[in-house]
Structure 1
Amino acid sequence: ALDGRSPATTTAPLAAMLVTEAVRGGNGSVELPGRTAFSGPEGAAVATVLGPEIVTELSGPGAGLDVARTVQLLRVARLLGVDCAELLPGVVRRLASALLADARNTADVRDTDNRDADTREAAAPDSPGWAPALLELMDEQFDVRTALLGALDRIAPEDPAGAERLLGRVALPFTGTQLLPHLRMCAEAPEAKAACGDDRVGAVQRVLRAAGMSPFAEPLVLRTAVGLVWEEGAPTVAEARLLLEAATSDAHRTAGTWSHLVAAALNAPAEEEEAPQLAHDLLRGFPQEITGRERGALLLLDFARELRSGAAEPEWAQRVRTLRPGAEPVEPGVLGHAFGALAGRLLAPDGPEAEL
């Protein structure tokens, strides 16, 4: 408050006390003085003392894990002119992970009335206490902003719902020239899901448009989109078939979204007539990826398709008995399809007596 209105002989000792408390006291909420307070020899003296401590902590294994603490240290480093360029990639990588982890938990909301109007507007009403300081850091240091947004974009496909929650709590400034396809998708997701309602495939398509790139060119955007729309649960069979048609099997394979399609087939009720056909398409499209029990269950579904179409080879009952052990514990819907198709063929007027 005294910066610019009092002589340096008055402000310098006070500024030194503040940054010393910020570095040594572990208090991430200390309001830092302006940079001009450290422009003279007093600032150089403080940097000589605190600089090595800042570098030591930022280079340690725990750097970046405490969001408020890391933000505070990076801001103090800038004030004192401490060079942290070599440490920045590792610190920012861990900070990005900590931000997503924090978004998954309930954070206490701190009073931000002492922040400037622009920062208060950018920080959402339920934003965490460190949000204003983080936004100030990103505004002050372009290199930190670029590196942090890039790190968040890289890990967003692994936790798109966490990234969506983070952006809902803190309005990160990524409107510049960086591509950031995954963050842009996460920012678009709430409005897309609200606008599309029950049309979840439509929501996926809208979110993908926000990425600015095709899943054929960058398959990971498909993983982010599917994770945003189906944070929990699996698509329906109809949705899975639309997703399979909307992108190549190669794109789903690279994105890892084929597992969502498998879950759709295996979790389908016995009344879902398209589940066996989906199983057939999945076995054909992902022969190397689908293994173990899931493969056994899909083979049961595919055999139900063969039975209903008349393409199954003789010894139907034996075939079901052979396939079932490899599918255990098998889903009720899968068993319903297999046994239903078998019973239908055996009890049909033209059913072969040899199978009874």
Structure 2
Amino acid sequence: LQAAAVLGVEIAGPVLEDVADRLVAALTRVPAEEEALPVPGALAGLPELCAVLLPRLERYAAREPLAAQALLDVVDVPLDAAVRPVPHLRMCAGAASARALALDAVAAWDELLRTSRPSWSTEPALLHTALRLVWTEQPPGLAEMAHILEAADSDSHRAAGTWREAVAAAERGGTGTGAEAAAGRALAAHLFRSFPAELAPRTRARLRLLELAGDIAEGRGTDWAEQAVALREPGEVAESSGLLAHVYAVLGAAVLRQPGSPEGELYGLARSGDPELLAAYRQAAQSAGFGERLRADPATAAGCFVDWTAHPGAGPAWEATSTALLDDVLRPALRSASRAHLTALTTALAAGGPHRVSAFETWHQRTRASRWRRLLGG
């Protein structure tokens, strides 16, 4: 080709395309640095070949951005020789510096899109290319994905396919922090609002679980247990998942007696009969921190006695759970309680009527009896 250029012989069509295909095949092997191909020299004076080669590399960069970045790290491809824009190649070329200079992944993603020419609004696929170039080892988290969705319109995300990444992030669930719960709810709401036709029923159920986790964490709404159990029914969430377990854990901790705990939610939990939900509630009650609160705060102990003797007709699963909580959590916490602690506890119970005090004293007699048996070695 270079000889033909010197002689002024015009070469076009199949010959150029064949040479370009061979060059792409050679370049996309991603040679080691010491084997880097002298591409600029090989293409010198061959604008026709550049015009055929660079669009092929651009398509490769759109399909395999990380591989294209590795290629550009060792091969000096003459991007300025492109006749048409090659935004994916340019983004791959700038990815390493964007990641190095940015404070975090979101900032690197913003920078790649800010400097892309043409803009992602003209070439929506750049949204997905930037995502893959920035989050190279693990996918975006909930808060990061919420930012990505907010940064572009839904049609662009639909064209780029990045909405699928948002669904995947939502289905992976969050870490349980307040910020993650808020981000998860915002992400789910955005997906419901912007991509209703793309969401399968199972995906809808899992996104609703994500919203529910945020609602519970912030004390929003009612009937949490009923909603959570309904969302795991066949045809909705077909099997237990990490997200469902997370929602159950958040729900169990929220319903547990504490300042600000919601009224009426315990009945829904008790009546659900769901063994995994009841286990999550029991696990929250058995935590070391809650045991310390029972020993330190008579009002909390009184409230738990009321809760764990309530709803006797809710079903065998709740009866087994409440009995275990009384015997394995509350009774040990009160074994060494002082007289003042017990007096404050019964005073708190008396506010609900003398029958509660009587029920507690009858139950607590067994605690004292078991304590004496241990002291006497019986």
**TM over 0.5, shorter chain:** yes
Between the aligned partners of 2:34 and 2:210, the Cα distance in structure 1 is 47
Secondary structure of 1:188's partner? helix
Q: 1:225 to 1:91 in 2, by over 3 A?
A: same
Partner of 1:218: 123
Q: 1:244 to 1:206 in 2, by over 3 A?
A: same
Partner of 2:94: 188
Q: CA RMSD in A?
A: 3.1
Partner of 2:200: 291
Between the aligned partners of 2:26 and 2:200, the Cα distance in structure 1 is 34
Between the aligned partners of 2:263 and 2:245, the Cα distance in structure 1 is 22
TM-score by length of 1: 0.62
Between the aligned partners of 1:260 and 1:94, the Cα distance in structure 2 is 34
Between the aligned partners of 2:124 and 2:25, the Cα distance in structure 1 is 22
Partner of 2:360: none
AA of the residue aligned to 2:264: G
Contact map agreement 2:124 2:159 (CA 8 A) in 1: yes
Q: 1:222 to 1:321 in 2, by over 3 A?
A: closer
Structure 1 residue 223: Cα displacement: 1.6
Contact map agreement 1:320 1:338 (CA 8 A) in 2: no
Structure 1 residue 99: Cα displacement: 2.8
Deviates more, 1:149-158 or 1:185-194: 149-158
Deviates more, 1:184-193 or 1:336-345: 336-345
Secondary structure of 1:225's partner? helix
Deviates more, 1:248-257 or 1:76-85: 76-85
Deviates more, 1:302-311 or 1:255-264: 302-311
AA of the residue aligned to 1:179: P
Where do 5+ consecutive residues of structure 2 fail to align? Answer: 271-378
Q: 1:346 to 1:321 in 2, by over 3 A?
A: farther
Task: Check if 1:300 corresponds to 2:209.
Answer: yes
Contact map agreement 1:92 1:144 (CA 8 A) in 2: yes
TM-score by length of 2: 0.59
State which structure, 1 or 2, has the greater radius of gyration over its C-alpha atoms: 2
Contact map agreement 2:223 2:265 (CA 8 A) in 1: no
- 1:128 aligned to 30, 35, 48, which one? 35
Where do 5+ consecutive residues of structure 1 fail to align? Answer: 1-73, 110-125
Secondary structure of 1:273's partner? helix
Q: 1:317 to 1:257 in 2, by over 3 A?
A: closer
Between the aligned partners of 1:293 and 1:93, the Cα distance in structure 2 is 43
Structure 1 residue 140: Cα displacement: 3.7
Between the aligned partners of 1:89 and 1:190, the Cα distance in structure 2 is 31
Partner of 1:350: 263
Q: 1:84 to 1:235 in 2, by over 3 A?
A: same
Partner of 1:281: 190
Higher relative contact order (CA 8 A, sep 6+): 1
Contact map agreement 1:276 1:301 (CA 8 A) in 2: yes
- 2:147 aligned to 235, 242, 248, which one? 242
Between the aligned partners of 2:112 and 2:176, the Cα distance in structure 1 is 32
Structure 1 residue 78: Cα displacement: 6.6
Secondary structure of 2:80's partner? coil
Deviates more, 1:245-254 or 1:304-313: 304-313
Structure in which a larger fraction of residues adopt helix: 2
Partner of 1:6: none
Which deviations, in whole Å up to 9, do the C-alpha atoms of 1:49-94 show, x marking residues without a partner? xxxxxxxxxxxxxxxxxxxxxxxxx668878969552343465357
Deviates more, 1:217-226 or 1:283-292: 283-292
Contact map agreement 1:266 1:297 (CA 8 A) in 2: yes
- Aligned residues with identical type, % of pairs: 35
Contact map agreement 2:87 2:117 (CA 8 A) in 1: yes
Between the aligned partners of 1:251 and 1:327, the Cα distance in structure 2 is 31
Partner of 1:179: 85
